[in-house]
Amino acid sequence: MNNGAMLVRAGWLIDGTGTEPRRQVALTIEGGMVTQVAPWEATPRGLPTQDLGEFFVLPGLINMHAHTILPGDGTSFADWMALPDELLLLQAHTNALAALHSGVTTIRDCGGKGRLMFRLRDAIRAGIVAGPRFVLSGRPLTITGGHCRYFGGEVDGADAMRQAARQLLAEGADFIKIMAAGGGTVGTYAEFPTFDLDELTAAVREAHRIGKLASCHCIATESISLALDAGADHIEHCSFMAPDRLWRYDESIARRVAASGVYVTPTLQVGADSMIKMKERHALGIATPEEAQIVVETPNRDDDTIANARSLHELGVPLVAGNDAGWRYTRFDTLYRELQLLVAAGLTSLEAIGAATGRAAAACQLADRIGTLVPGRVADLIGVQHDPTSDLAALAAPALVLQGGRVIVDRR
């Protein structure tokens, strides 16, 4: 008779809108959606209840930057991409489950090979396997020989960009991801931009034509300007790397980023995770020459990354939480570490939570579906034992994960 209706009694509710935690609130869930949020005493009686009266309840987390087909175990990118597609897809499923079980109910995947991520999402939607909601770019567009070329998105020239973007959108891409600079792929030049402005603009326009978004991977400082000129909606990394490969924050470009209103995913964790591993490997004498050089010459490199993010945040740039899971040593069940690093960059814990919930959903044009726990939103939520606003590590292994009102994990 209750149409699957249920109640979640929360000791504290952090609803993802940025408001302070509220005491003793209950959520009514019907048909997988939140239909009412009210004080305990004002909620319907007799419904099946998840009693989280001693817990903090938050929206399911959104990882704004991940590569779900990659292992996140330090395997070299080129070696990993030599594996057959079937193995990449199975790894993607394993990662998707690890994320979901850690409370990440949505992943914005910033690049996978071929059509694999579309197929994984098809399998999740068909109920063949479990997994989070996916916001997908499919193959990132990259110049011939460019960053992540193994994914199959090499393209040159404005006409070809238009065609490639149209193809991705037809396959089901939610946004177009463009490698506007080189990156961690061996043989690419992170310190220099890649595409010309007319190429970037052609791809961005195709996304905008049908109301979708375009995002640029920017390491080189000049690539940030180009992404803004092209009208991109989102910048990944935003690292301010000068042509001499040193990181040099550029105030005038940062002000342009702020004025444009684009979202920035600073991906702080991926560098921090790999620095920890490289230092361990260096201490054991098993670091590669490149790793040893980084450890010896730039042991505090992460401080620069955090300082960049702090400067952007202080200028009012909306930062969102994506940890680049899959890349190098970053795993899918540790998004809380990116939130901790956002706090190191000057966000309050509540703002960091917003960067992985309400603000993240807005950045994906999904604010009317997910990211907050208010009536009319999907009942993706987590329950954690300790107050995440005083220690974000509380988010590490949620006691309860609900996806669309269904219990996925119950560690109580």
Which residue is it, tokens 């180009």?
226
Which residue is it, tokens 């000049």?
222
- Exactly one of 199, 324, 338, 380 binds Zn ion (CB under 5 A); which one? 324
Return the range that interacts with Zn ion (CB under 5 A); candidates 105-113, 152-160, 166-174, 238-246: 105-113
Greatest extent of the chain over all pairs of C-alpha atoms, in Å: 68
- In the bound state with Zn ion, the residue whose beta carbon lies nearer, of 114 and 157, is 114
Contact status, residue 318 vs residue 328, Cβ threshold 8 Å: no
Binding-residue total with Zn ion (CB under 5 A): 2
Q: Six-digit token pair at 11?
A: 């000791």
- In the bound state with Zn ion, the residue whose beta carbon lies nearer, of 110 and 394, is 110
| Residues 352-411 interacting with Zn ion (rule: CB under 5 A) | none
- In the bound state with Zn ion, the residue whose beta carbon lies nearer, of 15 and 333, is 333
Return the range that interacts with Zn ion (CB under 5 A); candidates 223-231, 307-315, 324-332, 380-388: 324-332
- In the bound state with Zn ion, the residue whose beta carbon lies nearer, of 61 and 218, is 218
Q: Which of 203, 211, 210, 253 is nearest to 232 (CA)?
A: 203
Going by the DSSP 8-state scheme, the letter that residue 219 receives in this structure is: E
- In the bound state with Zn ion, the residue whose beta carbon lies nearer, of 110 and 202, is 110
Q: Six-digit token pair at 407?
A: 């219990």
Q: Residue number with the shortest CB distance to Zn ion? A: 324
Distance CA 41, CA 177 (A): 47
109 binds Zn ion (CB under 5 A): no
Distance CA 237, CA 330 (A): 15
Distance CA 211, CA 207 (A): 6
At 5 the three-state DSSP class reads coil
Q: Which of 124, 37, 63 is nearest to 379 (CA)?
A: 37
Return the range that interacts with Zn ion (CB under 5 A); candidates 1-9, 14-22, 50-58, 322-330: 322-330
Q: How far is the CB of 67 from Zn ion (least distance, A)?
A: 6
Q: Which of 309, 332, 330, 320 is nearest to 366 (CA)?
A: 320
Distance CA 224, CA 240 (A): 8
- In the bound state with Zn ion, the residue whose beta carbon lies nearer, of 69 and 100, is 69
Q: How far is the CB of 398 from Zn ion (least distance, A)?
A: 25
Name the helix (H) or strand (E) containing 26: strand 22-30
- In the bound state with Zn ion, the residue whose beta carbon lies nearer, of 15 and 236, is 236
Return the range that interacts with Zn ion (CB under 5 A); candidates 2-10, 88-96, 168-176, 323-331: 323-331
| Residues 110-139 interacting with Zn ion (rule: CB under 5 A) | 110
Return the range that interacts with Zn ion (CB under 5 A); candidates 75-83, 275-283, 318-326, 354-362: 318-326
- In the bound state with Zn ion, the residue whose beta carbon lies nearer, of 72 and 383, is 72
Q: How far is the CB of 220 from Zn ion (least distance, A)?
A: 15
Percent of the chain that is helix, strand, coil (3-state, to 5): 35, 25, 40
Q: How far is the CB of 145 from Zn ion (least distance, A)?
A: 18
Return the range that interacts with Zn ion (CB under 5 A); candidates 9-17, 46-54, 103-111, 255-263: 103-111
- In the bound state with Zn ion, the residue whose beta carbon lies nearer, of 56 and 151, is 151
Distance CA 202, CA 346 (A): 36
The residues, any chain, with a CB within 8 Å of residue 313's CB and separated by 6 or more, are 319, 345, 346, 347
Q: How far is the CB of 23 from Zn ion (least distance, A)?
A: 39
Q: How far is the CB of 274 from Zn ion (least distance, A)?
A: 13
Distance CA 91, CA 201 (A): 34
What pairing do the DSSP bridges indicate for beta strands 49-59 and 381-384? antiparallel
Binding residues vs Zn ion (CB under 5 A): 110, 324
